[in-house]
Amino acid sequence: MLLIGVDRRPISDARWRAQVTKAFSASPSALGTAVVEKSLYLQADATQAEELARVLAATQGRVALYFALPPAITMLLCKQLAKLELPKGIVLALEKPFGTDLASARALNRLLQKFVPEEQIFRVDHFLGKSTVLDIIGLRFANRIFEPLFSNENVESVEIVVEEALGLENRAGYYDKAGALVDMIQSHLLQILALTAMEAPSSVGSDDLRGAMAQVLRATRPWLRNGTASRRARYTAGKVGRRSLPSYASEGGVDPKLQTETLAEMTVAIDTWRWAGVPFTLRSGKAIGDARQEIVVTFRDVPHLPIGFSGPSRKAQLRIGINPAVLSLDVVTNGRGDPFDLEWDTMTAEFAPSSMTAYGEVLAELCSGDPTLSVRGDIAEDCWRIVAPVLSAWRKNAVPLDSYPAGTDGPRSWRSTDIVQVRR
């Protein structure tokens, strides 16, 4: 395998190899060492057709072009690629964000599909390579006990939360224009939603799995069609663990006019027999204390609790941990004392960790030419369609931008209110 790095900056081969060595050091292997030794760097402006042709001429065997570029540059580059004669079977891998809205994602798809078949386009979403995200499929469809419960008959609501302790981490150039909704919900969390809510695929092959994911996303829309079943907030100065973070607004490169949120929440409805009436709330934020990363399925009450029983009023939940990889299920039992005074017990199980990182999983599929873990074109468009009404409501200031100190779990005013009940 020959790994070629391409950028407009002049970088020596030695410096490039040092960068690659560092990247491979997380999981050392003989293959990694061989790749590092042969790896090359080419200085080129890949938005020029003749320079792209020079890059392609340096490749060997089956070629994968991996674009870690802003969407506008990716578009420029693809326009140039369309003019060239490409190596047979070439794979194009595109890092998120795929476009900046529905129209640009559509335009990029149309352009790509003119010169490369869909199976050779990898829209990279590393969450699809997380073993805990992939575990959802086995958990739901290889167990008799969970899947029959996954419907509006038994489930009251679903929450998908991916919070992080990290703040902006010098990424203003990208993040300030994206914000938490686009950075995380539009991509990663909607992929998790698709796996959590899809119908059983008949196989885990790319057509069946991505077909099932596409079908459920097509039926997904904001809970309120005007996008106001959503909340947004931004962190102010605070401490996350031992680390002090300045306020987001005071970070270098942040444009105060953009009103970028660092915590976003939106509730969606899925218009199918299985899920009609069940709110799915997606939340993601940065600089959160005690960050949670999990799917929480809250069950309805039993239809009738035998008279004479007393006990906890909270509803039973199944929590599927994305990080840490722990599954927990609440069960009510008679408990230790009075047999008619009910108590909660929680059953927990740890998922086995994967030997590969999320990116490793996705790259392995890319190298073998299997698009199962890549985001299909129609899915990428649907993810933009789903968030569009929320983005538009936020642009019109129809939803206030709240604030929270870094290191807390969000604005205080969010704690006591349930977004869906308030805004239904």
Ligand X SMILES: O=P(O)(O)OC[C@H]1O[C@@H](O)[C@H](O)[C@@H](O)[C@@H]1O
Which residues are near ligand X by CB under 6 A? Answer: 126, 164, 166, 183, 358
CA triplet 356, 357, 360: central angle to 5 degrees? 80
Give the three-state DSSP class for 115: helix
Annotated catalytic, 126? no
Closer Cβ to ligand X, 164 or 361, answer by number: 164
Give me the least distance between CB of 183 and ligand X, in Å please: 5
Under 8 Å CB-to-CB from 132, ≥6 apart: which residues?
320, 321, 322, 323, 325, 351
Return the number of the residue (344 or 359) whose C-beta is nearest ligand X.
359
CA distance linking residue 223 with residue 276, whole number of Å: 11
In the complex with ligand X, the residue whose CB is nearer, 183 or 294, is 183
| Nearest position to ligand X, beta carbon | 183
Q: Which is nearer to ligand X, 3 or 166 (CB)?
A: 166
Q: Tell me the closest approach of the beta carbon of residue 358 to ligand X, in angstroms.
A: 6
Q: How far apart are CA 233 and CA 259, in angstroms?
A: 9
> What gap in Å lies between CA 9 and CA 33, rounded to an integer?
25
The CB-of-323 to ligand X minimum distance in angstroms stands at 7
Give me the catalytic one of 188, 210, 283, 292.
188
The answer for residues whose C-beta is within 8 angstroms of residue 76's C-beta and 6 or more apart is: 47
Please say which residue, 17 or 286, places its beta carbon nearer to ligand X.
286
Q: Do residues 227 and 389 touch, judged by C-beta distance below 8 A?
A: yes
Structure tokens at 379: 């899915």
Q: Give the CA distances from residue 170 to residues 99, 213, 246, 248, in Å, rounded to whole numbers and listed in that order.
A: 22, 34, 12, 11
CB of 172 to ligand X, least distance (A): 12
Decide the pairing of beta strands 121-124 and 238-240.
unpaired
Enumerate the β-bridge partners of residue 348.
Answer: 328
Least distance in angstroms from the C-beta of 45 to ligand X: 25
Nearer to ligand X, 353 or 400 (CB): 353
Cα–Cα distance, 276 to 358 (Å, whole number): 32
The percent of the chain in helix, strand and coil, each rounded to the nearest 5, is 40, 20, 40
Catalytic residue positions? 188
